[in-house]
C-alpha cells in the first residue's frame, strides 16, 4: 500500500490496481491540489475543501462516491461510515468518520472531526486500527493537543496528521509533534507499508509531505 498526501485532508491510497481518495478538494475550493483518477472516493463533510469527487474522476476512472454513514463493499474494500460532528466552516454539520479494511490493514479516517470525545457507538466500531488519519488544524476541527490525546486513546499503530498548512494554524504541526515527543521529525514523500511493517508500532507519528 502506498499513501501520499495531497494537502488539506486529501489523501491518495494505492494498492494494486485500485486507488482510493479521501476528502478530495473540489474545483470550487480556493485550494489547489493535484488531480488523479480514483476507484473509490470518500467524503467526510459537504464542503468544497473536501467534497471534490469530480477532481478524482479522470479518464476511465469514475469513482464510486461515498458521502455519508453506512456500510459499503466496493472492489473488495470494506468501508464503514460513522456519523460524528464538525464545526468546519463555522457551523455544525455531519462529519463522517471512515473505517476502511483492505490488504489486512485497517485504516481510520477521522475527517473534519471537531469533538475531542467520540460517541461510544463510534468507538465500538473501531477494531485494531493500523493507520489513523487525524485533523490537527484547530480551525473548526480538533486542536493539536486534543488530536494527539484522542489519537493515542484509539491505540493505532501509525498516526498521520492532516489539516495543517493551508487549512490550519501555522504552528499546529509543531504543537502536535511536541505533544507526541516527535519534534523535529521531517516529512516524507510517501508511506509504503504492509501489515508486517506494523509489528511493534504503537502510536508512531508519520508526517507526509504536503504539496501546499
Strands in 2-7's sheet, in edge-to-edge order, are: 64-66, 40-42, 18-22, 10-15, 2-7, 191-192
Lookup: cell for 130: 493500523
Region 27-39: mean pLDDT is 92
pLDDT, position 127:
84
Q: Is residue 156 included in any domain, yes or no?
A: yes
Q: In terms of DSSP bridges, do strands 18-22 and 10-15 run parallel, antiparallel, or are they unpaired?
A: antiparallel
**Look-up: residue for cell 504552528?**
171
Asked if pLDDT for residue 212 goes beyond 70, the answer is no
CATH number of residue 128's parent domain: 3.60.15.10
Q: What's the pLDDT band for 59 if we cut at 50, 70, 90?
A: confident
In a domain, 30, yes or no: yes
The number of domains in the chain is 1
Q: Report the percent of the chain where pLDDT is more than 90.
A: 83
Q: Which domain holds residue 42?
A: 2-205
54 touches 7 (CB < 8 A): no
- Report yes or no on 212 lying in a domain: no
How does pLDDT run across 60-98, given as a tens digit for each residue? Answer: 889 999 999 999 999 999 999 999 999 998 999 999 999
Beta strands, E only, the chain: 2-7, 10-15, 18-22, 40-42, 64-66, 70-74, 77-86, 93-102, 105-109, 131-135, 158-162, 191-192, 204-205
Instruction: Flag whether 40 is in a domain.
Output: yes
Amino acid at each position: 500500500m502506498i499513501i501520499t498526501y495531497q494537502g488539506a485532508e486529501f489523501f491518495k491510497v494505492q494498492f494494486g490496481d485500485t486507488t482510493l481518495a479521501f476528502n478530495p478538494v473540489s474545483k470550487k475550493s480556493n485550494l489547489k491540489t493535484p488531480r488523479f483518477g480514483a476507484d473509490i472516493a470518500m467524503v467526510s463533510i459537504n464542503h468544497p475543501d473536501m467534497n471534490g469527487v469530480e477532481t478524482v474522476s479522470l479518464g476511465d476512472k469514475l469513482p464510486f462516491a461515498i458521502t455519508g454513514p453506512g456500510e459499503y463493499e466496493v472492489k473488495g474494500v470494506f468501508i464503514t461510515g460513522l456519523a460524528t460532528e464538525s464545526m468546519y466552516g463555522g457551523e455544525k454539520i455531519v462529519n463522517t468518520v471512515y473505517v476502511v479494511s483492505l490488504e489486512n490493514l485497517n485504516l481510520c479516517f477521522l475527517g473534519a472531526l471537531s469533538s475531542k470525545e467520540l460517541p461510544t457507538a463510534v468507538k465500538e466500531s473501531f477494531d485494531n486500527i493500523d493507520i489513523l488519519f487525524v485533523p490537527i488544524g484547530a480551525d473548526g476541527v480538533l486542536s493539536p493537543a486534543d488530536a494527539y490525546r484522542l489519537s493515542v486513546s484509539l491505540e493505532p499503530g501509525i498516526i498521520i496528521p492532516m489539516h495543517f498548512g493551508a487549512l490550519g494554524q501555522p504552528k499546529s504541526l509543531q504543537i502536535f509533534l511536541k505533544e507526541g515527543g516527535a519534534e523535529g521529525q521531517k516529512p516524507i514523500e510517501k508511506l509504503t507499508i504492509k501489515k508486517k511493517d506494523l509489528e511493534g508500532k504503537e502510536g508512531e507519528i508519520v508526517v507526509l509531505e504536503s504539496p501546499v
